[in-house]
Amino acid sequence: MGRGAGALVNLPQNVDEPSPVAGRAPQPEPARRRIWLCADDYGISPSVNAAIRDLVVRGRINATSAMVIAPTFSRSEARSLAILNAGARRVAIGLHVTLTAPFVPLAKDFTPLVDAAFPALPDVMRRSFLRRLSRTALDDEVRAQFAAFTASFGHPPDFVDGHRHVHLLPQVRDAVLAAIKSMSPNAWVRQCAGAGALLPRLSDPKGLVVDGLSRGLRRRARRRGISTNTAFAGTYTYHADADFAVLFPAFLAAVPDGGLIMCHPGRVDAELERLDPLTTLREREYEYLLGEFLPDLLAAHGVTLA
């Protein structure tokens, strides 16, 4: 009989095969963790956008959040990303809510302004903790950014996060959650509570701050029936000597199923240098995520990109 479908093959009788243990069912393979590896700041500059699209095509990331307020963001840049999901979905595309300098509001009556732009992050934080941001201005601006996303991509965001984590701040989080509920009801929102033991995270003050701020966001999201990622990693000091190659495996080990690792890969161009101090570290992250070892590293940690 041939060896086609349904053929019987006579095995040699002396083949050593593991004998079943009486009464013991075969052990299932350990469950793999499905996580999000999310590149922030799509839209901030053409070179960053191209790097993020490259990583999507190579299967190295599976989420990115778009800064629709950036000066060089356009429908063309949106289409160049969205087309990567043609045929099969490769990447979740989220809205990167932006409310800090040097960016300019979309809503015409936003206040306060500093030199016609949003205030710097410390001022936004101070005002939010004191509940001195205009609720109407926040609602209008956040909704304007949601509308710009939908107009550019042809659909609402899959998820929502914030540039410099502004979506976690008091007042801002309420505006963001309200906009999700009314304008993108199937979207989830990024919460930034860390995973793993506390002691190793004490060297990351920023991570501890966003961890604490995430508690309020999670409670409010739960009350509104809005989903969140289970846990978060990816913050670090962003000092010039930071070694992403050392940091990333620790991020990977800490994040549970349904968790998210934030990253900022990109190439440096004049527009990025004009808008953001995070430049050469983006190139380090990009080169690391391009590495041929990454699939094996994910497999070794039992991780699949969600």
CATH for 232: 3.20.20.370
What pLDDT is stored for residue 159 in this prediction? 98
Give the pair of three-digit tokens for residue 35: 């996580």
Within a domain: residue 194?
yes
* Distance separating alpha carbons of residues 97 and 166, to the nearest angstrom: 8
For the chain, the straight-line distance linking the first and the last C-alpha, in angstroms and rounded, comes to: 44
Within a domain: residue 16?
no
Q: Position of tokens 């015409």?
A: 108
What pLDDT is stored for residue 26 in this prediction? 55
φ/ψ (deg, to 5) at 202: -65, -20
Range of the domain at 121: 33-305
What pLDDT is stored for residue 3 in this prediction? 36
Closest CA to 64 of 198, 139, 158, 145: 158
Give the pair of three-digit tokens for residue 135: 């609720």
Q: Are 177 and 220 in contact (CB under 8 A)?
A: yes
CA distances from 185 to 77, 92, 159, 227, 242 (A): 25, 15, 10, 10, 38
Low-confidence stretches of the chain (pLDDT < 50) are 1-21
* Distance separating alpha carbons of residues 113 and 295, to the nearest angstrom: 45
Within a domain: residue 28?
no
Within a domain: residue 65?
yes
The single-letter code of the amino acid at 258 is G
Residues 6+ apart with CB under 8 A from 62: 36, 37, 38, 56, 90, 91, 92, 305, 306
* Distance separating alpha carbons of residues 284 and 245, to the nearest angstrom: 9
CA distances from 108 to 40, 97, 113, 144 (A): 26, 17, 11, 10
Element (DSSP H or E) covering residue 94: strand 92-97
Within a domain: residue 8?
no
Within a domain: residue 17?
no
What is residue 258's DSSP assignment?
T
φ/ψ (deg, to 5) at 28: -70, 155
* Distance separating alpha carbons of residues 227 and 229, to the nearest angstrom: 7
Domains held by the chain: number: 1
Q: Are 211 and 194 in contact (CB under 8 A)?
A: yes
Within a domain: residue 237?
yes
Q: CA angle at residue 131 from 184 to 236, to 5 degrees?
A: 70
What pLDDT is stored for residue 194 in this prediction? 81
Q: 265: cis peptide before it, omega within 30°?
A: no
Within a domain: residue 104?
yes
Give the pair of three-digit tokens for residue 221: 């999201």
